[in-house]
Amino acid sequence: MNTQKLGKPARVLLLISSLLLPLVVFLPIWKIELDAPQYPEGLTLQIHANDIRGNVDIINGLNHYIGMKTMHKEDFIEFSILPYIIIGFSVLFLLGAWLNRKKLLYTLFGAFVLFGVVAMVDFWKWEYDYGHDLDPNAAIQVPGMAYQPPLIGFKQLLNFGAYSIPDIGGWIFIVIGLMLLTGVILEWRFSKSPRSVLSFLPLVFLLNSCQDEVKPIQVGRDNCHFCKMGISDIRFASAILTQQGKTYPFDDIKCLLNYLSTDKDIKVKDIYVSNFSGKHELVKASSAYFLASPSLGSPMAGNLAAFQDKNELIKNNQAFVGEEKTWESIQP
């Protein structure tokens, strides 16, 4: 047996990677979504391998008022070379599967990871320059304020909530990286045990899978996604976590229920409610206990309080004299 040759699983992973990667040239790699009360449908900036698309003109117009430079694809040298780098890696992956050498697999994996790190550093630098290099004569100036979007995740920029997450092409990059990592691990540790190879493969993807979490609600900073009022009482707050990883905060469970009734297209991953007792942490609505009482006096007169523990509900019911509810019974 030639120990320098790749096993069949690693060769297949290289071949699949070589076929998937060219798709990234035609698909959006990253996106920045902006939410604000004056734009209820949101604004989107999509970054492709060779272009910037989405609501570019509107965002450029808004950025002009705060002194940010306008964005044009001609300003980025990355757009002229990135498609060639992507196709180059695709050809190298195919060549690696054909030449069938372990050292080549390790080299390709290292080069691909290095490329990903350099790309993210370059992206962060681009965001930093645009968020900090402001026109001193701009119409709107907030002393000490910078407008750098988040590299990944959420950040509040004045009245805009900015979400920065991978798009379809970006997820393909991540999947390819995981496949190459799987091939490296299989060749490094499990080449002598075929059964271990088959059992380890799904574990690699499981351990590296991304998990979205609901964002904590900030009193005095976050606005209700439905009524647009500022969230002032954390005891009655609630939130929706979408399948895209966005958190929509609400100042009252009533607002959350009204939003679910009006927006039939929203893709909900989980619904959270604030625990009325204790530290008012967000808990899943499906496992919470609810108390309905006019004497609660919630911000939008929904008069519903949620409890993580039923004993706490019973204790508070003695003070507010209400009716016990379940999540199923209060849904629209």
Together in a domain, 186 and 99 = yes
Query: pLDDT category, 187, cuts 50, 70, 90?
Result: confident
> Range with the lowest mean pLDDT among 202-206, 289-293, 306-310?
202-206
Asked if pLDDT for residue 211 goes beyond 90, the answer is: no
Domain match, 23 and 136 both: yes
CB neighbours (10 Å) of residue 37? 13
Residues 312 and 177 in one domain: no
Same domain, 68 and 151: yes
Whether residue 20 is contained in a domain is answered as: yes
**Residue 253 to residue 219: CA distance in whole angstroms:** 15
Domain check: are 178 and 73 in the same one?
yes
- Claim to verify: residue 147 and residue 291 sit in the same structural domain: no
Instruction: Estimate to the nearest angstrom the gap between the alpha carbon of 93 and the chain centroid.
Output: 29
Together in a domain, 55 and 137: yes
- The DSSP output letter for 301 is S
Count structural domains, the chain: 2
| Domain match, 238 and 93 both | no
Residue 206 has pLDDT above 60, yes or no: no
* CA proximity to 106, closest of 172, 10, 19, 35: 10
Q: Are residues 240 and 198 in the same domain?
A: no
Range of the domain at 276: 234-330
Mean per-residue pLDDT over the chain, rounded: 85
Does residue 219 belong to any structural domain of this protein? no
Cβ neighbours, 10 Å, residue 321: 11
pLDDT band of residue 204 (cuts 50, 70, 90) is: very low
**Res 194 pLDDT > 60:** no
* Residue 241 to residue 283: CA distance in whole angstroms: 12
Question: Between 196 and 104, where is the model more confident?
Answer: 104
Instruction: Measure the CA–CA gap between 295 and 323, rounded to whole angstroms.
Output: 11
DSSP bridge partners of 54: 45
Q: 152 exposed, middle or buried (CB, 10 Å; 0-12, 13-18, 19+)? A: middle
Residue 277: inside a domain: yes
Do 50 and 135 fall into the same domain? yes
| Same domain, yes or no: 29 and 143 | yes
Residue 76 lies in a domain: yes
Q: For the whole model, what pTM was predicted?
A: 0.59
On whether both 163 and 38 belong to a single domain, the answer is yes
Three-state SS at 53:
strand
Chain position carrying tokens 């964005």: 71
Domain boundary pick from 207, 223, 255: 207
Is the confidence at residue 188, as pLDDT, over 80?
A: no
For residues 256-260, give the mean pLDDT: 91
Residue 40 lies in a domain: yes
Residue 223 belongs to some domain of the structure: no
Domain-located, residue 212: no
Which of 142-156, 186-200, 317-331 shows the lowest mean pLDDT across its residues? 186-200
CB 327 within 8 A of CB 270: no
Q: Please indicate, yes or no, if residue 3 is contained in any of the structural domains.
A: no
